[in-house]
Amino acid sequence: MTPHRFTTRDDWFAMQRVADGIYHITEPHYRADYRCNIYVVKGSQRDIIIDTGLGLGSLRTFVAPITDNPLLVCSHSHYDHMGSNFEFEERVIHPAEADIVAHPTAQNTYADPVLVTEDFYELPWPGFEARDWVAEPAPATGLIDEGDIIDLGSRSFVVLNTPGHSWGSICLWEEKTGVMFCADTVYEGELFDFLPCSDIPTYIQSFQCLLEYPVQVAYPGHGPILDATRFRTVIETYLRQHQS
Ligand SMILES: [Zn+2]
Ligand SMILES: [Zn+2]
């Protein structure tokens, strides 16, 4: 097996502490609306990392100064969220997408056709072509579904299954703080509800459920962090456009 190729650039990722115990990591050389928001959430007993980006840089090495061996919670199996899954020892995902991360291809993760070389401002290495992108198999070590609790000690999240963008899309909800990690279900920008794995009536149902939660701050899979108003506005705008 050829070893996975990582960039040697030291500026592949950027990290920012965005709240107490929450770090936001992104890949600034990939187009702004497609680059994934990765989060590290620290707890007293354990840490989690939510999603892993493109896998073109070593995320495990990059986050080592702030977290050692976090539990990877993969929000769904699209190429922009799972590239470095294989770097983490413990990984959980919804059962609907477990087969994809165990046997990923450019096609079933949508790297083909979405990931293109022209969408990089800087390349991970000279001569990089999007078709070089390799999805490493990383079978889940555990499955998560609606109502499961992810306990970090000092903080605790409930798993919500919010299909629509994809069947296995999940959100993480922390009642105590009103924090919602909402991945590709809710973000500002064009919502992808037209993929073969998407379903609009199901998306509408997930949105109706999400409106029941008293969200204070939402950390999406793309774009800016959302306050309560912006979170609701994204959902209500979509519902208005799709319900007559
Ligand atoms: Zn997605
Ligand atoms: Zn995405």
pLDDT in tens, 73-87: 999 999 999 999 999
Q: In what order do the strands lie in the sheet with 142-143?
A: 14-19, 22-26, 38-42, 47-50, 71-73, 91-93, 142-143
What is the whole-number distance in angstroms between the Cα of residue 184 and the centre of ligand 1?
Answer: 5
Cβ-contact 94, 161 below 8 angstroms: yes
Q: Which two tokens stand for residue 231?
A: 């979170």
What is the whole-number distance in angstroms between the Cα of residue 79 and the centre of ligand 1?
Answer: 8
What domains sit in the chain, N to C, each tagged with a CATH number? 14-242 (3.60.15.10)
- Strand-pairing partners, residue 142, are 92
What gap in Å lies between CA 200 and CA 131, rounded to an integer?
30
What is the whole-number distance in angstroms between the Cα of residue 170 and the centre of ligand 1?
Answer: 11
Q: Which ligand is nearest to the CA of 198?
A: 1
What gap in Å lies between CA 5 and CA 7, rounded to an integer?
7
**Tens digit of each residue's pLDDT (9 = 90 or more) over 180-237:** 999 999 999 999 999 999 999 999 999 999 999 999 999 999 999 999 999 999 999 9
Helices (H) and strands (E) in the chain, counts: 6, 13
pTM of the model: 0.98
Q: Which ligand is nearest to the CA of 170?
A: 1
Q: Which two tokens stand for residue 194?
A: 């037209």
Q: Which ligand is nearest to the CA of 76?
A: 1
